């Protein structure tokens, strides 16, 4: 029983937590979607995480319905962590695109979540231009998530615990009711005195300031406020009609505010306050109230005529100054404006976009002609084109080329080049260090976008040896920060092989600062191709890399040690043999073998003695490892032991394997004194082991191309003068050897 009660109490809290988790993961997924190209691993991982969050949200119930406001997410009638900024961000993203409710009916799949992120990346105006969010949602095929589209420019939230009814506002004069509506309603001006003592201009200024702070969030008077305001205005006009028997309506329109002297004193005061209030409003709010008066209430033509006659032509002309504002007005209001403002009708209908562009260009040129230098001939040509109206129409190719210069990538690219030139022009200025830091930050941005070419261009210019040494050092330090180097190397995984060459060039430009990051990444990298690329880059530094490699010989990971030793061996013989000798006793055989190879290459006597002992070992694996250690620097004792293996013994499978390995090892040594012993094998016969001996002879013939040509050519010519398999192999080796020496 107790568990059931606890479960019931905890369920809402768990549901809220699940919603917050979904909001957080959705926010991260949106950020990754906007920052990285399609298919990027970060996008895929964030989508998978978001999918898991939705699964947790739906685990307790079959579906979830969330309300959307510009201030947050609603679960039932309560905000989901109202002060949580992430929830606010997600709510704002939905709200801006006209989504009023989100219903999660079942678990969405990956494609639906990707479609959701694509929709949320669209701007509000793009959503409207493409037919609205409901149309786009349906076309995207998102069925697991349903939405309800609402015109949120007519709604707002309130912190009041109880919404006041209309009857609460019916006390006091019409002006007092109007003030109470504006201050205590949904507008959010509860801190203003609402006792009817507020002057109209003060009330208008408060509303202007309030909505100016919320500009861009779909703010404005709510539908409920507009409806009540319309009712009060209608009442005021009704009092006017009762007081003068409609004479005012029959008086016709005037150019300025209407004459209210015929009204009774109370009605005249109320109407004067209303007109003063509407006149003092910002044109945007004023336009909303006037449009709402004609849309939301039951206003007829005569009532609307009365209101707009009182306001006068000057206020209306300011409110509906453009053709777009006139076109957005209700039909009833457009009819009144045609009567009251006949002189503006021509401009409403004849103004074109080209005219507006021309006017703006003229204004722009006039404003800046004294501030910015421009050649007189060029300026005159612009002015002549604008005055004549003969604007050149760009073709598609020219327009596309021009538009590319307006892209953020192009602007950032040119901006970085300008910053670099400013630094080069005055490297000792007070702002030089700040400019260099800005340049480094811009390069970090280019790396995130995968524009390695632009980064390479900047770094190559910054490393130009013609620049002062101090400047080059300062810029190198700015670009050699560890986080910047790691970002470059991250591109190997993010962007793959297409960026390998550019990353290699960046490593070459920035130099030894890359060695430590490369070694760190190589130690953790699982991809063999990428690991090989990093090893090659380290080896490209030559002797500069040797101290860094020697410092890592104490690494506990055997696979790291093996790669370190391989790179040391690629750098050539070394003097620090004492640092490698302990690895001859390492627990891992691969490490022991690589350490032995490195020491043999360096002529270490300890390693040479061990190889000679291993050649006599009874363990075939140890013998084979020792045989493969042979090279041109091997001591004479090793050569003698290898010849004994190649020419002595029998022809069992194990012995033949050792003989073949010894023949290849002798070829690595490649000394002429070896050949007489090999000739003995070539001229030998065996009836019982004919095939095995023949294979050994063929191995010897194949290895002869690694001996001095003058010594082996007569031998090969003699053996090739036959018709068996050994002769044919001799002819082939002879051809290869002659092609090398020709």
Determine the Cα–Cα distance for residues 19 and 90; give it in Å rounded to an integer: 11
Instruction: Return the top range by mean pLDDT from 146-160, 424-438, 692-706.
Output: 692-706
Over range 607-626, report the average pLDDT.
87
- Angle of helix 528-539 relative to helix 482-494, nearest 10 degrees, comes to 140
| The pLDDT of residue 480 is above 80 | yes
Determine the Cα–Cα distance for residues 21 and 84; give it in Å rounded to an integer: 11
Determine the Cα–Cα distance for residues 439 and 99; give it in Å rounded to an integer: 40
- What pLDDT digit, counting tens, does each position of 355-369 carry? 566 666 666 555 544
Q: Can you give the pLDDT at residue 651? A: 84
CA distances from 606 to 155, 299, 600 (A): 87, 107, 9
Q: Can you give the pLDDT at residue 314? A: 80
Q: What is the DSSP letter of 330?
A: -
Is 66 part of any domain?
A: yes
Which residue would you say has higher pLDDT here, 413 or 100? 100
- What pLDDT digit, counting tens, does each position of 708-730 carry? 888 888 888 888 888 888 889 98
Q: What is the DSSP letter of 100?
A: E
Q: Can you give the pLDDT at residue 169? A: 45
Q: Can you give the pLDDT at residue 8? A: 44
Q: Can you give the pLDDT at residue 372? A: 53
Same domain, 207 and 317: yes
| The pLDDT of residue 131 is above 90 | no
Determine the Cα–Cα distance for residues 175 and 179; give it in Å rounded to an integer: 6
Is the distance from CB of 29 to CB of 117 less than 8 angstroms?
A: yes
Q: Which of 342, 362, 397 is the last residue of a domain?
A: 342
Q: Can you give the pLDDT at residue 565? A: 94
- Angle of helix 223-244 relative to helix 301-311, nearest 10 degrees, comes to 90
Q: Which of 94, 118, 150 is the last residue of a domain?
A: 150
Same domain, 245 and 99: no
* Buried/exposed code over 51-70 (b: 16+ C-beta within 10 A; e: otherwise): bebbeebbeeeeebebbbbb
Same domain, 22 and 40: yes
* Buried/exposed code over 298-314 (b: 16+ C-beta within 10 A; e: otherwise): ebeeebbbbbbbbbbbe
The number of C-alpha atoms within 13 Å of 71 and in the hemisphere containing its C-beta is: 14
Same domain, 225 and 76: no
Which residue would you say has higher pLDDT here, 532 or 335? 532
Least confident interval from 91-100, 305-314, 502-511: 305-314
Is 486 part of any domain?
A: no
- What pLDDT digit, counting tens, does each position of 166-210 carry? 444 445 677 777 777 776 654 444 444 444 457 777 777 777 776
Residue 695 is encoded by which pair of tokens?
């294979």
Q: Which of 342, 369, 404 is the last residue of a domain?
A: 342
Over range 573-585, report the average pLDDT.
90
The per-residue pLDDT of the chain, averaged, comes to 78
Instruction: Return the top range by mean pLDDT from 199-213, 410-424, 627-641.
Output: 627-641
Give the DSSP per-residue string, 488-552.
Answer: HHHHHHHT-GGGHHHHHHHHHHHGGGGHHHHHHHHHH---HHHHHHHHHHHHTTGGGGHHHHHTT
Q: Can you give the pLDDT at residue 587? A: 93
Which residue would you say has higher pLDDT here, 505 or 62? 505
Same domain, 17 and 133: yes
Helix, coil or strand: residue 352: coil
Q: Can you give the pLDDT at residue 542? A: 93
Q: Work out how many domains the chain is built from and give that number.
A: 4
| The pLDDT of residue 249 is above 60 | no
Over range 552-578, report the average pLDDT.
92
Q: What is the DSSP letter of 102?
A: E
Which residue would you say has higher pLDDT here, 254 or 326? 326
Same domain, 135 and 254: no
Which residue would you say has higher pLDDT here, 629 or 548? 548
Is 479 part of any domain?
A: no
Is 205 part of any domain?
A: yes
Q: 553: burial class by Cβ within 10 Å (0-12, 13-18, 19+)? A: middle
Is 225 part of any domain?
A: yes
Which residue would you say has higher pLDDT here, 243 or 180? 180
- What pLDDT digit, counting tens, does each position of 422-476 carry? 878 777 777 777 888 878 888 888 888 888 888 888 888 888 888 888 888 888 8
Same domain, 80 and 28: yes
Give the DSSP per-residue string, 178-206.
Answer: HHHHHHHSTT--TTS--SS---HHHHHHH
Q: Can you give the pLDDT at residue 720? A: 85
Residue 603 is encoded by which pair of tokens?
């002529």
Q: Can you give the pLDDT at residue 159? A: 45
Over range 550-578, report the average pLDDT.
92
Is the distance from CB of 270 to CB of 175 less than 8 angstroms?
A: yes
217 CB contacts (<8 Å, ≥6 apart)? 70, 92, 95, 96
Same domain, 238 and 306: yes
- pLDDT band for position 548 (cuts 50, 70, 90): very high
- pLDDT band for position 649 (cuts 50, 70, 90): confident
Same domain, 80 and 210: no
Is the distance from CB of 552 to CB of 560 less than 8 angstroms?
A: yes
- CA 281 to centroid of chain Cα atoms: 43
Q: Can you give the pLDDT at residue 533? A: 94
Q: Biggest alpha carbon distance in the chain?
A: 141
What residue numbers bound the domain in which 23 lies?
2-150
Same domain, 227 and 324: yes
Q: Which stretches of 540-635 are DSSP H helices? A: 546-550, 558-570, 577-580, 589-601, 605-615, 620-627
Q: Can you give the pLDDT at residue 532? A: 94
Which residue would you say has higher pLDDT here, 260 or 52? 52
Is 71 part of any domain?
A: yes
Same domain, 315 and 287: yes
Same domain, 244 and 315: yes
The predicted model scores a pTM of 0.45
Q: Can you give the pLDDT at residue 421? A: 82
Least confident interval from 115-119, 206-210, 316-320: 206-210
- What pLDDT digit, counting tens, does each position of 388-416 carry? 766 566 677 777 777 777 777 677 777 77
Q: Can you give the pLDDT at residue 540? A: 94
Is 573 part of any domain?
A: no
């Amino acid at each position: 029983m107790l568990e059931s009660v606890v479960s019931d109490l905890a369920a809402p809290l768990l549901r809220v937590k699940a919603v917050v988790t979904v909001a957080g993961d959705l926010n991260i997924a949106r950020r990754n979607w906007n920052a990285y190209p399609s298919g990027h691993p970060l996008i895929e991982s964030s989508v998978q995480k978001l999918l898991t969050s939705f699964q947790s949200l739906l685990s307790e119930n079959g579906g979830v319905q969330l309300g959307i406001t510009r201030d947050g997410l609603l679960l039932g009638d309560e905000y989901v962590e109202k002060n949580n900024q992430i929830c606010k961000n997600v709510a704002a993203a939905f709200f801006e695109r006209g989504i009023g409710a989100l219903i999660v009916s079942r678990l969405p799949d990956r494609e639906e979540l990707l479609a959701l992120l694509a929709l949320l990346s669209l701007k509000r105006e793009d959503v409207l231009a493409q037919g609205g969010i409901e149309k786009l949602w349906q076309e995207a095929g998102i069925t697991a998530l349903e939405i309800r589209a609402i015109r949120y420019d007519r709604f707002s939230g309130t912190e009041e615990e109880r919404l006041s009814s209309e009857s609460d506002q019916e006390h006091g004069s019409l002006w007092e009711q109007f003030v109470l509506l504006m201050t205590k309603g949904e507008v959010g001006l509860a801190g203003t005195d609402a006792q009817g003592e507020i002057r109209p201009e003060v009330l208008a200024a408060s509303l202007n300031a309030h909505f100016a702070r919320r500009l861009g969030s779909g703010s404005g008077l709510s539908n409920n406020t507009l409806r009540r305001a319309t009712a009060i205005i209608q009442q005021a006009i009704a009092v006017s009609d009762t007081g003068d028997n409609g004479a005012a309506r029959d008086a016709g329109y005037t150019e300025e505010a209407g004459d209210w002297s015929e009204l009774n004193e109370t009605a005249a005061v109320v109407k004067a306050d209303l007109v003063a209030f509407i006149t003092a409003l910002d044109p945007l709010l004023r336009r909303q109230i006037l449009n709402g008066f004609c849309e939301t209430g039951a206003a007829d033509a005569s009532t609307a005529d009365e209101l707009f006659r009182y306001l006068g032509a000057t206020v209306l002309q300011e409110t509906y100054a453009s053709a777009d504002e006139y076109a957005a007005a209700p039909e009833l209001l457009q009819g009144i404006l045609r009567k009251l403002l006949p002189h503006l009708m021509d401009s409403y209908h004849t103004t074109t976009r080209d005219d507006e562009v021309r006017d703006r260009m003229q204004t722009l040129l006039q404003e800046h002609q004294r501030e910015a230098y421009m050649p007189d001939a060029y300026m005159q040509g612009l002015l002549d084109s604008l005055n004549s109206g003969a604007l050149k129409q760009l073709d598609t190719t020219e327009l596309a080329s021009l538009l590319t210069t307006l892209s953020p990538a192009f602007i950032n690219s040119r901006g970085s080049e300008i910053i670099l030139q400013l630094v080069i022009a005055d490297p000792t200025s007070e702002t030089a260090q700040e400019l260099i830091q800005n340049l480094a930050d811009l390069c970090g941005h280019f790396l995130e976008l995968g524009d390695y070419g632009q980064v390479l261009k900047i770094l190559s210019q910054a490393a130009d040896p013609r620049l002062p040494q101090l400047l080059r050092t300062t810029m190198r330090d700015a670009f050699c920060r560890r986080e910047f180097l790691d970002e470059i190397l991250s591109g190997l995984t993010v962007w793959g092989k297409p960026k390998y060459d550019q990353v290699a060039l960046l490593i070459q430009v920035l130099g030894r600062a890359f060695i430590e990051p490369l070694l760190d990444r190589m130690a953790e990298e699982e991809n063999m191709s990428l690991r090989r690329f990093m090893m090659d880059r380290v080896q490209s530094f030559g002797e500069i890399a040797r101290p860094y490699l020697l410092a890592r010989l104490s690494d506990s990971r055997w696979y790291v040690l093996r790669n370190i030793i391989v790179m040391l061996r690629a750098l050539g013989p070394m003097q620090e043999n004492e640092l490698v000798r302990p690895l001859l006793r390492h627990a891992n055989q691969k490490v022991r073998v690589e350490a032995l190879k490195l020491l043999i290459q360096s002529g270490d006597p300890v390693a040479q003695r061990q190889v000679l002992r291993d050649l006599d070992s009874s363990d075939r694996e140890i013998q084979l490892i020792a045989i493969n250690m042979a090279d041109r620097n091997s001591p004479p004792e090793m050569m003698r032991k290898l010849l004994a293996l190649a020419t002595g013994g029998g022809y069992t499978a194990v012995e033949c394997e050792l003989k073949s390995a010894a023949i290849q090892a002798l070829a690595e040594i490649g000394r002429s004194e070896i050949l007489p012993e090999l000739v003995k094998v070539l001229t030998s016969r065996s009836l019982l082991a004919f095939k095995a001996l023949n294979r050994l002879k063929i191995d010897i013939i194949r290895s002869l191309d690694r001996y001095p040509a003058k010594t082996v050519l007569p031998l090969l010519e003699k053996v090739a003068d036959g018709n068996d398999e050994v002769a044919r192999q001799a002819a082939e080796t002879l051809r290869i050897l002659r092609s090398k020496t020709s």
